[in-house]
Amino acid sequence: MKITLKVWRQKDQSTKGQFRTYQLDHVSPDMSFLEMFDVLNNDLVLKGEDPIAFDHDCREGICGACSMFINGRPHGPLQTTTCQLHMRSFRDGETITVEPWRAKAFPVIKDLVVSRESFERIQQAGGYISVNTGGVPDANEIPIPKTNADKAFDAAACIQCGACVAACKNASAMLFVSAKISQLALLPQGQPERKVRAERMVAQMDKEGFGACTNTLACEAECPKGISVSNIARMNREYYSANLTSENI
């Protein structure tokens, strides 16, 4: 396949970026999207040009590192991660535009690499159950209805990639935040801190500069792990009820 790539190049956070165009003549349909970048980068290095920086690690669709905005969609045309996207999803001769995630809370570090430290701070604000190692009850002491465990799992499948933010016109992080709040709200172990968790995580989310949700559902449509927007509804319920009866703030 022949592919024309228009790629966002930006030296660092403080330098202005621009698109650069690259021609690739020997792309195999069996290549993953990132393998195409490997081949391009290899050629660039051999030509003495600076290779394109991009985040990636597991290349199995689970670590959440990869984060390319491809032809106007996070992770490209399929509902999967960039690393699992293969070139057979594109046409021979196609021009593909590749950008980093665009959001105020995700500043560009270089080329296609952004900082997602804002997500870390939201997790640190309350995305946990306060138990120390040791001295916990037997795993089967508290039965959990299978449907609840399954719903908790569905929410916990979030890979924290940030596609939801990149997809949203408001750069809202509500799908990501609601996934964690939902997972723990659905489990008996999460009950003692249920209210304070919702309050703190939402407060941190707002502080980081993410936008609000206007129910366009773009996040759900683009989430590579199929996280449902019903989690956002649950988070709103959690947040309002926590606020109404807050013992915290």
Partner 1 sequence: MKLDSKIPEGPLAEKWSKHKFNLKLVNPANKRKYEIIVVGTGLAGASAAASLAELGYNVKAFCFQDSPRRAHSIAAQGGINAAKNYRNDGDSIYRLFYDTIKGGDYRAREGNVYRLAEVSVDIIDQCVAQGVPFAREYGGLLDNRSFGGAQVSRTFYARGQTGQQLLLGAYSALNRQISNGKVKMYNRTEMLDVVVTDGKARGIITRNLITGKVEAHSAHAVLLCTGGYGNVFFLSTNAKGSNVTAAWRAHKKGALFGNPCFTQIHPTCIPVSGDHQSKLTLMSESLRNDGRVWVPKTARPGLKAKDAVNIPEAERDYFLERKYPSFGNLVPRDVASRNAKYACDEGKGVGSGLAVFLDFADAIKRDGKKIIEAKYGNLFDMYQQITGDNPYEVPMMIFPAVHYTMGGLWVDYNLSTTVPGLYALGEANFSDHGANRLGASALMQGLADGYFVIPYTIGDYLANIGWSDRISADHPAFKEALDNVQARVQKLLSIKGRKTVDQLHRELGLTMWDYCGMSRTEEGLRKAKARIQELRNEFWQNVNVLGSPNELNQELEKAGRVADFMELGELMVDDALHRSESCGGHFREESQTPDGEALRDDSKFAYVAAWEYTAENKAEVLHKEELRFENVKLTQRSYK
| Contacts to partner 1 from residues 151-180, by CB under 8 A | 152-153, 156-157, 159-160
- The least CB distance from residue 72 to partner 1, in Å, is 21
Site for partner 1 in 12-31 (CB under 8 A): 12, 28, 30-31
Report if residue 65 touches partner 1, rule: CB under 8 A. yes
For partner 1, the closer of residues 115 and 170 by Cβ is 115
Residues 6 or more apart whose CB falls under 8 angstroms from that of 237 comprise none
82 is written with which tokens?
């960039």
119 is written with which tokens?
């997500």
Report if residue 230 touches partner 1, rule: CB under 8 A. no
Site string for partner 1, 192-221 (x = CB under 8 A): ------------------------------
Which burial class, exposed, middle or buried, applies to 60 when counting CB atoms under 10 A from its CB (0-12, 13-18, 19+)?
Answer: exposed
For partner 1, the closer of residues 6 and 194 by Cβ is 194
Binding residue for partner 1, selected from 118, 172, 183, 231, defined by CB under 8 A: 183
Beta bridge partners of 69: 74, 99
In angstroms, what CA-CA distances link 34 with 4, 41, 193?
A: 15, 10, 41
CB 103 within 8 A of CB 166: yes
For partner 1, the closer of residues 49 and 212 by Cβ is 49
Report if residue 227 touches partner 1, rule: CB under 8 A. no
Beta bridge partners of 23: 4
Find the part of the chain contacting partner 1 (CB under 8 A) among 78-86, 96-104, 166-174, 214-222.
78-86
Report if residue 146 touches partner 1, rule: CB under 8 A. yes
Amino acid identity for residue 14 in this structure: S
Site for partner 1 in 117-136 (CB under 8 A): 117, 119-120, 123-125, 127-134, 136
Report if residue 187 touches partner 1, rule: CB under 8 A. yes
DSSP letters spanning 136-190:
PPPTTSS---HHHHHHHHHHHT-----HHHHH-TT-B-HHHHHHHHHHHHTSGGG
Find the part of the chain contacting partner 1 (CB under 8 A) among 16-24, 93-101, 111-119, 205-213.
111-119
For partner 1, the closer of residues 18 and 244 by Cβ is 18
Binding residue for partner 1, selected from 4, 19, 20, 58, defined by CB under 8 A: 58
What's the rounded Cα separation, in Å, for the pair 89 and 247? 52
